[in-house]
């Protein structure tokens, strides 16, 4: 059975995340405490109690989502005797989820991953002053047409506007200067889009405007011990697998300003014979994308005790 384990990105967080896991498994509590200690903050309290606007802040949401994902991984290992490397052909994650994937594959320790994501969240937020950048989802048109739309909105290089997240057929996210994003919302229908919706984010993620954040992450990653992955990791920017820790680190730096090639990541998994995928952590965004892609991969979301138990049973059969 060829499995890929995938890890969610920002937007999948919710107030109450992780509570059911901590209530049922001491191993999950250990993960949440380790992340709290790494950040010198009671992040777990914020995860289960909110307020939502504070949890949604990039610097909190990124380590919180990773913590939830790694609690699922730890429960599988400690409570069900499931080590991912014995079942996985690949790991992959959407944006910050690539750090969760790297942690699950043993590239970084849990403590280092939490600190890296706090640094990443802070750096991405500070890279562009609030109000100057934005993002918009373009629905119902091809990636190539969204690239053409982005070029039309950049006004001969006056503004930055790029296709930042190629999530699925007919679902691409633009990122760049707010003037360009507002222009895209206005003219997207001329490029065949069914809808173009401005997203409630405070920065133009995965665009060249994030260059200051990429520089911060290059410094932060150089100071952390990276190990050879126990499972090949499919990177966002290359949509192919890496097995060398230096390449994984390089990809994570480039990822800050580069596109998230998730549609091609799903294609790559299918080409490599993947038949089953499990999204470990909060929400089911990636599961929905993978199943709708109809590439012969069956994906399930695994974030609750019952879902973890069901996955463990299926893996052992």
**C-alpha angle 237/138/303, rounded to 5°?**
60
CA distance 80 to 53: 35
Q: Which of 250, 246, 237, 169 is nearest to 206 (CA)?
A: 237
Please identify which of the residues 206, 235, 277, 299 carries the catalytic annotation: 206
From 27, 59, 95, 175, active-site residue: 95
CA gap 163, 237 in Å, rounded: 12
Distance of CA 231 to the CA centre of its chain: 17
As a whole number of angstroms, the distance between CA 236 and CA 259 comes to 7
Contacts of 128 (CB under 8 A, 6+ apart): 203, 204, 209, 210
Alpha helices (H) in 81-109, listed in sequence order: 97-104
Q: How far apart are CA 139 and CA 19, in angstroms?
A: 34
Let me know if 206 is a catalytic residue: yes
Which is nearest to 84 in space by CA: 300, 278, 241, 306? 278
- In this structure, what token pair is assigned to residue 88? 């996985």
H or E element that contains 214: helix 211-222
CB 276 within 8 A of CB 297: yes
Q: Which two tokens stand for residue 72?
A: 């699922």
Q: Chain centroid to CA 226: how far?
A: 19
Q: Catalytic: 202?
A: no
* CA geometry: angle 170, 172, 177, nearest 5 deg: 145
Catalytic residue ranges: 95, 206
């Amino acid at each position: 059975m060829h499995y890929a384990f995938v890890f969610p990105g920002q937007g999948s967080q919710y107030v109450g995340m992780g509570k059911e896991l901590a209530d049922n498994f001491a191993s999950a509590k250990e993960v949440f405490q380790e992340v709290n200690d790494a950040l010198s903050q009671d992040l777990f309290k914020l995860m289960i109690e909110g307020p939502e606007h504070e949890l949604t802040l990039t610097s909190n949401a990124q380590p919180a989502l990773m913590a939830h994902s790694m609690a699922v991984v730890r429960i599988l290992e400690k409570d069900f005797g499931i080590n991912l490397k014995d079942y996985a052909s690949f790991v992959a994650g959407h944006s910050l989820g690539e750090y969760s994937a790297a942690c699950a594959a043993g590239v970084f320790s849990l403590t280092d991953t939490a600190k890296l994501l706090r640094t990443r969240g802070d750096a991405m937020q500070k890279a562009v002053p609030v109000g100057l950048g934005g993002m918009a989802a373009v629905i119902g048109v091809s990636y190539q047409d969204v690239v053409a739309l982005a070029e039309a909105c950049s006004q001969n290089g006056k503004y930055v506007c790029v296709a930042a997240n190629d999530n699925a057929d007919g679902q691409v996210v633009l990122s760049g200067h707010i003037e360009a994003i507002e222009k895209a919302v206005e003219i997207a229908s001329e490029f065949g889009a069914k809808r173009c919706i401005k997203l409630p984010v405070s920065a133009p993620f995965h665009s060249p405007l994030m260059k200051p954040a990429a520089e911060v992450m290059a410094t932060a990653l150089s100071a952390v011990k990276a190990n050879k992955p126990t499972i090949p990791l499919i990177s966002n920017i290359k949509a192919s697998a890496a097995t060398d820790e230096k390449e994984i680190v390089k990809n994570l730096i480039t990822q800050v300003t580069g596109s998230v090639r998730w549609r091609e990541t799903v294609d790559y998994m299918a080409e490599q014979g993947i038949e089953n995928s499990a999204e470990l952590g909060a929400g089911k965004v990636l599961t929905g994308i993978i199943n709708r892609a109809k590439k012969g991969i069956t994906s399930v979301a695994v974030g609750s005790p019952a879902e973890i138990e069901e996955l463990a049973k299926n893996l052992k059969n």
